Structure formats: C-alpha cells, structure tokens
C-alpha cells in the first residue's frame, strides 16, 4: 500500500467529515463521514464546486476557503450554525480549513466536526445543576416563609375570637386568607410532594387528552396539529403527571398565540440518546411547537426558574413544575425559540431504573 492509499484509508475511517478541494475549489475527495453529513454520495459530489456543496446559509464559507488559499494559513471557525440537507434543524459545527501541498498545484482540506452533542450535554448539565440549586434555594425560602406565616395566621385567628366588631373581623379574615394564599404559593413553588406512580401508559393517548382539553379551551381559533411516531413503545410513567407536563406547556403556547396560529404536537424515538451524563438506549421525544412571536432572548435561559414568566398574566410556575415532574422521570425539557417558531422538547427515557 503506497502513501496515497494510506492517507485515504486514514481519512475514510475518521468520524469527522473531510473534504478536499483543488485550486479552483472543485471537490477532489470526500470521506464517508462527509457523505453522511451532506446526504450525498461521493460520486454525486465529485467535481462539484464548493459553493454548490456548502450550505448557502453560511455566506462566508467560500470566502474562508479563498482566504485560507491566499494566505496559506490554517483557518478555524467554531460553533457555526448551518443547515445541511437531510437534517430537519440547523446544526452546529466546528470547521478547520488547511492548505497543503498534494504534489501538484496544492489543495485545501476542510474538516467539519458536528459539535451539537457536546454542546447539548454541557448545556443540559448546566440546566440540571441550576435546577438543583434553585430547588435548594426554594426549600430554604419556603421554610423561612412558612414558619412566620403560620404564626401570623394563628395570631389573626386568636384576634378574631376576641373581636366583637364584625367590621374589624373583615380585616382579620383578609390576613388569614392572604396567609393561606401565600402558603399555597410556596407549596406550588416547591413542586409535587408525591413520588411518581409509575405504570405503562400510551404517550399518544396522553397527548390526545391534552389536545382535546386545549381544543375545548381555544375552540377553532388555533390550529392543533398532530405528528405522531406510531413506533414509540409504551412509556413507564405517572399518567396524571405526564398530562400536567404537556398541558402546562401546550396551554402556555396557546396563551402566547392569542387566538392566531398553530401548535404542533410531534413525537419521535431517539436511540442511544444522552440526557445529562447518562446515555439511554431509547428516549421518547415530544416537541410542542408554536408559531408565536418567540421568547425574548434575555428570558430563554431563565424560563424554567420559578416566578419567571414572559406573560403579564402568568404565574411563572407552569414550566418550573413541568421541569420538576419530568426530572422525576429522569428526563429533561429543553427550549429553542426564535420569532415565529418556539419548540419545547420533552425528553423522557423509555426505561426507568427506579420506577418499578
């Protein structure tokens, strides 16, 4: 085996996508990983120009190639968002362009590494850590709030018994009712007290029930679309908690739309999918997609925190409760939002280790 064949064998076995272009930016070589990424065979791509291959959404890509060629220096761009054929959503890549001498007029090697998975794992670890810190903070605050509230309520009841004036009793009633309201609010912030009651449930029956409830509330003003994957096996979960999770998210979406637009309920199966640091063999993914104005950028990192709401009428607890319920099922909720499209993705393992 000569040196040329050894180089090709090495590149063919890389997990990162590799493309080699000539001086005129025509494709000379593409490895199997690049064929998968671009959803085209090497024979189809052979001889194509760079601008025909590289997604047009990255307008600077060809300029980077030309700059690397003219300067003779390696150029690396990190966390570029592009949309490749065969991928439903845009993906994030790191790209390195390296000029080299191939024994002729020279060539450019482009190495593309998809980094969505690493970025997602890091983001999920941060979300889980933030959720744990938030829960600890809320538990501490709840203890400090509920103790004096109990004293205030008790004192108001004793005072009420001593009053002969019914008009003054109205004020003690206000104190008691407000103390009860604050106590209830704190309890809601703490989330569900009961552990999930695991049973085998049909995910699509849960979503259909949610769809019917929301449909009854909004009527025909909002279009509700179902895009279900019938291959999803039964989910081992708490039926009522799952209904609450998807109802909270779907109602939020309906409120944002204000009587105009659509909500899509979409299910898919993810194989060998990592949530946090644990890789699960099968994971159910439920996307709730709305066509609303989107979540403001400054709120996107905080929407799962208690009392954070993008709506003036919202309590800021719906998503917090939903995240807590999903976390009890070893899952996670993620959000991606831009004007005209907001996606809440619920990931739940299809095998629960501690639920049996």
pLDDT digits (tens, 9 = 90+) for 339-348: 999 999 999 9
Does this model's pTM top 0.75? My answer is no
Q: Return d(Cα 13, Cα 4) in angstroms, integer.
A: 15
Predicted local confidence at residue 234, as pLDDT: 92
- The tokens for 287 are 């996307």
Helix (H, G, I), strand (E, B) or coil at 51: helix
Domain map (residue ranges) of the chain? 3-115, 196-355
Helix (H, G, I), strand (E, B) or coil at 266: strand
- The tokens for 341 are 């499209």
Domain 196-355 top-level CATH class: alpha beta
Q: Which residues in the chain come in under a pLDDT of 70?
A: 1-9, 55-61, 83-90, 102-104, 116-125, 127-128, 130-132, 134-135, 139, 188-193, 305-317, 352-356
Predicted local confidence at residue 354, as pLDDT: 43
Predicted local confidence at residue 7, as pLDDT: 61
CATH of domain 3-115: 3.30.450.20
| Spatial CA neighbour of 112 closest among 31, 39, 49 | 31
Phi, psi of 334 (to 5 degrees): -120, 160
Burial class (CB in 10 A: 0-12, 13-18, 19+), 197: exposed
CA angle 158/163/169 to nearest 5° reads 85
Predicted local confidence at residue 292, as pLDDT: 92
- Give residue-wise pLDDT tens across range 315-336: 556 788 888 888 889 888 988 8
Predicted local confidence at residue 245, as pLDDT: 93
Predicted local confidence at residue 264, as pLDDT: 96
């Amino acid at each position: 085996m000569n040196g040329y064949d050894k180089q090709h064998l090495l590149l063919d076995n890389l997990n990162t996508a590799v493309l080699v272009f000539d001086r005129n930016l025509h494709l000379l070589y593409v490895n199997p990983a690049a064929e998968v990424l671009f959803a085209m065979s090497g024979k189809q791509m052979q001889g194509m120009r760079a601008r025909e291959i590289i997604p047009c959404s990255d307008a600077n890509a060809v300029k980077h190639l030309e700059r690397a060629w003219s300067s003779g220096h390696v150029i690396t761009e990190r966390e570029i968002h592009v949309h490749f054929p065969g991928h439903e959503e845009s993906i994030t890549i790191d790209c390195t362009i390296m000029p080299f001498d191939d024994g002729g007029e020279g060539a450019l090697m482009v190495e593309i590494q998809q980094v969505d998975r690493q970025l997602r794992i890091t983001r999920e670890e941060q979300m889980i850590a933030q959720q744990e810190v938030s829960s600890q903070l809320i538990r501490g605050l709840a203890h400090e709030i509920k103790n004096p509230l109990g004293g205030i309520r008790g004192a108001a009841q004793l005072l009420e018994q001593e009053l002969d004036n019914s008009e003054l009793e109205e004020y003690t009633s206000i104190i008691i009712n407000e103390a009860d309201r604050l106590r209830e609010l704190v309890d809601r912030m703490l989330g569900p007290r009961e552990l999930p009651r695991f049973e085998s449930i049909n995910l699509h029956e849960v979503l259909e029930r949610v769809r019917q409830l929301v449909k009854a509330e909004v009527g025909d003003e909002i279009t509700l679309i179902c895009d279900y994957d019938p291959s999803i096996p039964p989910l081992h979960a708490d039926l009522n908690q799952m209904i609450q999770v998807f109802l909270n998210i779907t109602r939020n979406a309906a409120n944002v739309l204000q009587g105009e637009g659509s909500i899509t309920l979409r299910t898919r199966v993810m194989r060998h999918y990592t949530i946090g640091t644990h890789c699960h063999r099968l994971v159910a993914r439920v996307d709730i997609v709305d066509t609303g104005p989107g979540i403001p950028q400054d709120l996107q990192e905080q929407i799962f925190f208690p009392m954070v709401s993008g709506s003036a009428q919202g309590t800021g607890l719906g998503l917090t409760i939903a995240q807590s319920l999903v976390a009890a099922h070893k899952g996670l909720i993620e959000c991606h939002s831009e004007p005209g499209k907001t996606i809440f993705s619920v990931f739940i393992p299809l095998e629960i280790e501690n639920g049996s």
